[in-house]
Amino acid sequence: MGPSSGVASWPARIRQRVWRIAPADIDPVVLRHSRIYILPTARGVALMATLVIMLLTAMNYALSLGYAFVFIVGGLVAAALLATFRNLAGVAVSPVAAREAFAGSELAFTLSLASNARDRVGLSVAAQGGHAQMLDLPAAATRPVSVSITTRGRGRHTLGRVTLSTDFPLGLWRGWAYVHFPLAGVVYPAPEAGAPPLPPGMQGSDAHRSGHASDAELAGVRDYQPGDAHNRVAWKAVARGAGWYTKQFEGSGGQGALALDWAELPAGLDVETRLSRLCAWVLAAERETRPFSLRVPGTDIAFGQGASQRRTALSALALFPSASAR
């Protein structure tokens, strides 16, 4: 490496240090002086401008009480600056997990925030383009926080840069810090609206018929998804206030296994429509507790059922190369 390459890297290093453009935070990050930035808010600028005018007035008319008021309030502004900094300093941020989503919905990521021996009040955590999450962090506590980004297309989506900020205690100063973890989640194709009925099973059963799981055994529950059959909802958990879940069964339910094949779709469908239709069929097969296989160019998934089979199939559809990349 010549000396010119070392010189050229300095601007990139400065941009990375100031803006955290690249996902270089591998380990948990503890916010220190080098990461925290503070500027006055609009309220703080207005207050400081008022104090300057009052100081000039007190000097012009030799108002002792005016001097006292300006210096007392000025000390309050300086103390608020220190309090804002201390509210962020020492907070430890760690990446936890990335969830799954369908194209066009919110993709959620989970971070963990930990405090030392100091209470944190009015912390804001937000991803780029996402909604800010507000929370208080008691002393010596660790809490998960969920941040989300809006997805428009399928594939692997990264969390990007996350901003932690606060204007505690008086809203006169805003302190913020950036963290950028290499955290990515998978976004599935959006299921086709009004997709055709499932193709006939390998036993020739009518797939459009309602599913009966009399010969299926309860295997567990998973998070409820829009479109799940109402007779699969774990209503007891809903009544207890534990959240919305969908029951999962093992067994074919008497409808036969499905072979979902890219090559069997109509020839006139484009790539994204094919993926959306297969996605809808995968979800329908899981709702009906039917084993299924999936074959798309470059991927052949054997017969199976349950949450792991659904996740494997949907991930294959999500990561299928786009038409422009092939």
**pLDDT tens per residue across all 326 residues of the chain:** 444 444 458 888 888 888 888 899 988 999 999 999 999 999 999 999 999 999 999 999 999 999 999 999 999 999 999 999 999 999 999 999 999 999 999 999 999 999 998 999 999 999 987 889 999 999 999 999 999 999 989 999 999 999 999 999 999 999 999 999 999 999 999 999 988 888 877 654 443 333 344 345 566 777 776 555 566 678 777 778 777 777 765 554 445 789 999 999 998 899 999 999 999 999 999 888 889 999 999 999 999 988 899 999 999 999 999 765 44
Token pair 């209503």 is at which residue?
A: 235
Distance separating alpha carbons of residues 76 and 84, to the nearest angstrom: 12
Distance separating alpha carbons of residues 87 and 76, to the nearest angstrom: 16
Model pTM score: 0.77
Instruction: Go through the chain and tell me how many residues it has.
Output: 326
- Residue 148: beta bridge partners? 108
Token pair 């092939």 is at which residue?
A: 326
Q: Is there a contact between 165 and 124 (Cβ–Cβ < 8 Å)? A: yes
Token pair 């290499």 is at which residue?
A: 182
* pLDDT value of residue 232: 67
Angle between helices 42-61 and 64-88 (to 10 degrees): 160
Angle between helices 271-287 and 307-318 (to 10 degrees): 180
Report how many helices (DSSP H) and strands (DSSP E) the chain contains, helices first.
Answer: 6, 17
Q: Is there a contact between 258 and 202 (Cβ–Cβ < 8 Å)? A: yes
The sign of the torsion formed by the CA atoms of 70, 40, 171, 34 equals negative
